[in-house]
Chains A and B, each alone.
Chain A
């Protein structure tokens, strides 16, 4: 039976397509990894489809308006106190088992032969020489792929992609995989495979892809390789708005392809064995950031059901933030190779393979226009965002910004997003998907307007803030910290003293000081379904926290332990949370993406701990009553659960803390460990937004074009900082990545051949520790009713402000606009010459 694959991404943009789906197809959509990703990363984009097809999605429960939950006010024992990462010792000493360290008896090593061409058809594959190479065990390619898997498609089309495609659409697309006795043997053997390619015309640039003359690569109703052109989103009357403005300004901002450079390259160990009833069973250990989502993908691709697939993420993972996001072909090939050879198969990407075959944030071009009054009021704003989806669409759109023009009062708005497929790096999220781009489209333009009317950019922002509600959905904001982040970031950075007219402060011959700011909002950190967790109170009174939230760097498993401990009343020293996530022993709590786990997994654990605590106190009451009965003479004990509490690991009477009961004694009395479970239903009262502001101070050398960031100040509304140490690290990390992308990072391809030029850590220039400026972190806490303990997630937003703040600071320093990322010396010097 042919597997009719449904395009989950298309469901979000094409309501007619969504309407055409059968119930079975809806089930496929909802189980797909893509849908998980989109609900996590682009919940804002799903509004229209949710509104119309909510019943298909079983989200009726989610749509109910619940009365606001009271936010726990403390005082807290654990929450709000800096806690080192629970598994930090394993991370920094090497005691932690990364996938790379793991072995299996009889393990084979697999390497992939990738296409050197960005678009080609495979005419012939000859593996004779490779098969004869000593140490080679098996080779798998489209010629010998079992029939069962020939119709399996993976990823989001168009165009379609199979496990081994005849037509390939990007450099690095797998042609064959070799399993051998060592990595080096497999590597050498891949070079002995002869492949005849018919090279086809490639589209290497998204602007070229929009031309009517560009050859189509699939049955496309739009020009060239355009995937989507959204109908413009219009608010008010944009034309009239611009006409009635005192000043109208336009700009074009661009960003290039950026890569995560996760320290640990993609690594998996795959095993194929059989259940005792003879059914196939596949196990895979590796660098995944959503074990349950990966299980869905593997079960669909291998035609197994979910109970036949086990996915383990070790928890020691060299970061994700979007890389290692969705399982790719290499993991499925490893499983098939394990099936074929009957031996465990390990494959580990080289650095170049990770750069080329994993996903990226790909290039975007924003054409924006703003109209303002002389008093600084924003009257109209328009933006056309053209995104390069690369060879494989990885989420909604490469440039989508729908629903984000929500932080300023903009009465007249026009926005359109165009997404174009190219035969280049595959698109996906990189510490957020498109939100930083939306900020790039808007914030430098806002500064242009402020300078044009002679207004301080800070005052202009404060004048236009929207603190109440999303202007389109009318959903209210929940205790918005937007004003606070802007005020506190600029106060802390000394904005009032340091801001000056453009090119007014030469600090050394030819070197100019500048300061610039940017504000940001996005939907990340909001959380959402699924949202589950479990805690177990053990017989000695300690607790095991069980969560399916994959640890990929942000420290969420420490956060889970802290939340559970706070709810129950146990110190962290008596709480265990494993580093790994195993689909056989945890429940799905969604993908570690969208900065969602603090709230998603957090609520699951919060409710599980509450459940356990209720049971614990209930058993305590029974035990106290029973203890009374056993006394001689018997006593009638009258106590209710609400008279009791747990503090620092001991059950006490609230009104007399000297009356104590040991947790272990209660569990012994109960005769079973106490199991608390949580499955949280998220209410939909509020527009859940992240609020951020950043201030960059720079020195620009007009002799060399060098930009040095002297200091960066970042303020974020995190609702409530569960672990202030973790929050600070997230913000520092995001800001550092953001500065690197602003100044030096760009993943390049040869324009003639489409071959990657710098897929290595030497030429793709991630900042070194010596390049990192002091980052001053301002944590703003405005607790949210929708967040566990009032928290809002923080993983992604910190990457969003640096590029815009630095562009604005560079203008303040040298009086010219450089708005193409990265802000290279060549671009700075050229802008100075053209000024």
Chain B
């Protein structure tokens, strides 16, 4: 591993100041299971992705820890651990979808150390991106090795230039819950809905979201779901512990007395470069008896899927899981 300096600020302005000063050489450390245990350890670097020379640890900032409940929703500090989220009675009561998603992340050891901010902003798992010997687009290179190589786990929707899938389970759940993030930078603080937070490779292949190098995600706010909101989470993985999603599905929706869809979201993880909101499925459900149309609504995912050479099986899985997750939410 390459050596680096470690900064341990105790306030957000201090952290932002450090990052602003460090420029491209600085990176936010928010747990480090990916940044230190992955990117740095494995020398994941390229022309467009210099390895950091200094890390700014935000877990040393007391304000970024904890879960606050207000009349309108829950606010979770970016440095709150995944275990704290799983164990929070407020989260379990109000947005069990997030607890369920968090429970399926990695392993207990990583959840004890990993944070919400770190999970949302981790880098993708693509083995070409991670491989030291592949100069791919995402590292500033000029090729996507997944197009001609093994793309078993790559994108089936929305891949362009680069075919990564977004790795974050918590982000998938948060998008379904219509959450937003607070971002602190040198020019102040801004709120960004997760609807607008992530971007695909066409927008900027070097990043997965709009967070700038001198900015820190400080907290996440989840509005209180409408009374009676149905929620469910499914994550299919190759093994039960310490694995990313082959496909995951988060649903949060309301139905009327007749069981007809009134409002809600269907979001998929593991299928696209961003947590993917399946509006095509939502449209098919609108005003319909969810139980009756779940199967055909789920099949709509096929209309937006463009699988690669080895991953059409993920389309079948996505379809099955959307249907099952909808039915599971109905109870």
Contacts and interface: CB of A to CB of B under 8 A. Distances in A.
The size class of the interface chain B forms with chain A is 20 to 34
A826 B310 contact: yes
Contacts of B145: 750, 752-753
B240 A770 contact: yes
B240 A826 contact: no
Given A750-B145, A770-B241, A755 B133 contact: yes
Interface stretch (A325-333, A540-548, A681-689, A761-769): A761-769
Contacts of A770: 239-241
Interface in A175-208: 184, 187-188, 191
B317 A705 contact: yes
A513 B90 CA distance: 40
Contacts of B131: 750, 755-757
B313 A829 contact: yes
Nearest to A188: B2
Interface in A796-835: 824-826, 829-830
B167 to A, nearest CB: 11
A751 B149 contact: yes
Contact of B320 (A703, A750, A755, A766): A703
Interface in B224-253: 236, 238-244, 246
Contacts of A767: 239
A280 interface: no
Nearest to A748: B150
Interface string A655-692: 00000000000000000000000000000000000000
Contacts of B42: 352, 760
B324 A703 contact: yes
Interface residues of A, number: 36
A753 B132 CA distance: 13
B127 interface: yes
Which secondary structure dominates chain B's binding surface? Answer: loop
B160 interface: no
B150 A765 contact: no
Contact of A762 (B240, B242, B317): B242
A705 B316 contact: yes
Contacts of A750: 128, 131, 134, 145, 149-150
Contacts of A768: 239-243
Interface string A764-798: 01111111000000000000000000000000000
Contacts of B71: none
Given A352-B42, A704-B321, A116 B239 contact: no
Contacts of B288: none
Contact of B150 (A705, A757, A825, A830): A757
Nearest to A116: B133
Interface in A503-558: 510
Contacts of B244: 762
Interface string A742-754: 0010001011110
A825 B246 contact: yes
A245 interface: no
29 contacts: A116-B132, A184-B2, A187-B1, A188-B1, A188-B3, A191-B43, A352-B42, A704-B320, A704-B321, A705-B317, A750-B145, A750-B150, A752-B148, A753-B145, A755-B131, A755-B134, A756-B131, A757-B127, A757-B150, A762-B243, A762-B244, A763-B127, A765-B238, A766-B239, A770-B241, A771-B240, A824-B152, A825-B313, A830-B313
Interface of B: 1-3, 42-43, 125, 127-128, 131-134, 145, 148-150, 152, 236, 238-244, 246, 310-311, 313, 316-317, 320-321, 324
Given A704-B317, A771-B240, 16 more contacts: A116-B133, A184-B2, A187-B1, A510-B320, A703-B324, A705-B313, A705-B317, A750-B150, A757-B149, A763-B127, A770-B240, A825-B246, A825-B317, A826-B310, A826-B313, A830-B313
